[in-house]
Structure 1
């Protein structure tokens, strides 16, 4: 379960930002999670709930996960398509000259603090 490592890394980043900006507590964390990022959202939430209990600023922090669709682009037919429905092969032309455009990252979108 690699989710715990990612949770710890994200929390470390947010705690450092809170410390550097002199906030008293972090209320909400908006996190974009790509649907092909290999993160299982339920596992991530469970790890997050466990990990924030051990923080200085995030003990009451709400996690808002925004799932970003996996979208690929086909260089042959110049179209995009939903990666999770079709995989690497373009459903429009059948070609494999494709690459992932969105949906593989984990990004801190917003931090709300007081």
Structure 2
């Protein structure tokens, strides 16, 4: 379960941002999470609840997540398509010369302070 490590990293980053900006309380944090990032939303939110309550700055802060669509590019026909629907094989030309463009990342999108 790497979600706990991700949460600790986010909390460390937020506490640094909080100190730099003299924040006293964060109400919510919004993350963008890739569809094929391997991060499970329920686990991430459970880890967040447990870990954020140990931080004075983040105690009670809500974690919101927004999905980042998984998109694959085919170098054979120069088209993009939904990775979840079609995997590594291009639905347009049946080519396998493909790579993931988006969908395996996670980003901090927004911090709402009280």
TM-score, normalising length from structure 1?
A: 0.96
Distance 2:73 2:25 in 1: 41
Distance 1:113 1:39 in 2: 25
Name the structure 1 match of 2:8: 8
Count of matched residue pairs: 114
> Which range moved further: 29-38 or 92-101?
92-101
Any runs of at least 4 consecutive aligned residues in structure 1 with deviations exceeding 6 A, and if so which? none
- Say what the alpha-carbon RMSD is for the aligned residues: 0.9
Name the structure 1 match of 2:107: 107
Q: Does 1:95 align with 2:80?
A: no
Q: Which runs of 5+ in 1 are unaligned?
A: none
Q: How does 1:45-84 map to 2 (within 5 A)?
A: 45-84=45-84
Q: Which runs of 5+ in 2 are unaligned?
A: none
**TM-aligned CA deviation for residue 53 of structure 1:** 0.9
What are the superposed Cα offsets for residues 29-74 of structure 1, whole Å, 9 maximum, x if unpaired? Answer: 1100001000011111110110011112010211110011101111
Is the 1:15–1:56 contact (alpha carbons within 8 Å) kept by the matching residues of 2? Answer: no
TM-score, normalising length from structure 2?
A: 0.96
Name the structure 2 match of 1:23: 23
